[in-house]
Amino acid sequence: MTEALNANTGTHFTQYTRSFAEYWDDLVGWEARLAREGAFYNRHLHAHGAKQVIDIATGTGVNAVSLAQYGFEVTAVDGSENMLAKAQENARHYGVSFADAKAIDGLSLDETLGTEQFDAAVCLGNSFTHLFDHEDRRTALRAIFRILRPGGMLIIDQRNYDAMLDQGYSSKHAFCYTGNNVDVGPVELHRSLAKFNYVFPDGARFELNMYPLRQDYLTHLLEDAGFVNVERYGDMRRPYDTNEVDFVQQIAFRP
């Protein structure tokens, strides 16, 4: 089975079909991924005094469930009903519940949520790189800015596209998605597109198109949206060597 889906059409989350949602958890490799990154997000959110956290690209819930387990009141949001349904199933499986769960396009987050505001927002698992248009990225970040209370924190992560574009993709850069035997790699990589291929042990294949967002550009976009004190981490550490890390996390604040 091959599902080749195109994110350049503007329907960013329609890539996540029901069958891909079923496979996503194998790709994510929950246990290994949370062992590696769960404590990092928990530590930063707790240190900032956050209680109400919105995950704006919940997917099947790996981070939202983990944060609920740590005791945060988590609102789980995703543009894909399929992914959100799987996240709720996973929350039940792990014995936690979300404060709320809603299918919302990240571009209209503030309009849909109205006056609701949060102490922190997370956008993890390379999700922001699903936006292909500069103005859409600005719109999405302004929307996130508005749904945060003053002093609110945003954590956003992405693959280290700088290294991929400047040095080429290396198979050692398979850091984030560690599901068993899932073969992940780019089939097309240039400054305007990173098309990743995912091959599962049963032969199922999927493709996802992502925008290879450079880290300086994302910092600029965050500041352009009004965020301040942007901190950057590479594979959850700093300082870091841009040539060596697989993922970059940026933490920004609403003044």
Give the interface with ligand SAM as residue ranges (CB under 6 A).
12-13, 16, 28, 57, 59, 62-63, 78-80, 83, 105-107, 124-127, 130
CB of 129 to ligand SAM, least distance (A): 8
Closer to ligand SAM by CB, 211 or 227: give it: 211
DSSP-assigned letter for residue 131: -
CB of 201 to ligand SAM, least distance (A): 19
Helix (H, G, I), strand (E, B) or coil at 142: helix
N- to C-terminal Cα distance for the chain?
Answer: 48
CB of 190 to ligand SAM, least distance (A): 20
Residue number with the shortest CB distance to ligand SAM? Answer: 125
Closer to ligand SAM by CB, 62 or 144: give it: 62
CB of 255 to ligand SAM, least distance (A): 25
Task: Single out the residue of 205, 159, 209 nearest to residue 27, CA to CA.
Answer: 205
Closer to ligand SAM by CB, 59 or 212: give it: 59
Quick check: 1 and 203 in contact, CB under 8 A? yes
Quick check: 182 and 200 in contact, CB under 8 A? yes
How far apart, in whole angstroms, are the C-alpha atoms of residue 119 and residue 54?
Answer: 8
* Residues forming a β-bridge with 234: 237, 248
Closer to ligand SAM by CB, 81 or 241: give it: 81
CB of 253 to ligand SAM, least distance (A): 21
The total of other beta-carbon atoms located within 10 Å of residue 45's CB is 21
CB of 33 to ligand SAM, least distance (A): 8
Quick check: 161 and 213 in contact, CB under 8 A? yes
Closer to ligand SAM by CB, 50 or 104: give it: 104
How far apart, in whole angstroms, are the C-alpha atoms of residue 14 and residue 66?
Answer: 25
Closer to ligand SAM by CB, 52 or 126: give it: 126
CB of 178 to ligand SAM, least distance (A): 12
Closer to ligand SAM by CB, 107 or 163: give it: 107
User: Considering just the CA atoms, what is the radius of gyration of the chain in Å?
Assistant: 17
Q: If you count DSSP H runs as helices and E runs as strands, how many of each does the chain have, helices first?
A: 8, 11
How far apart, in whole angstroms, are the C-alpha atoms of residue 196 and residue 77?
Answer: 24
Mention every residue, 6+ apart, whose C-beta is less than 8 A from residue 201: 180, 181, 182
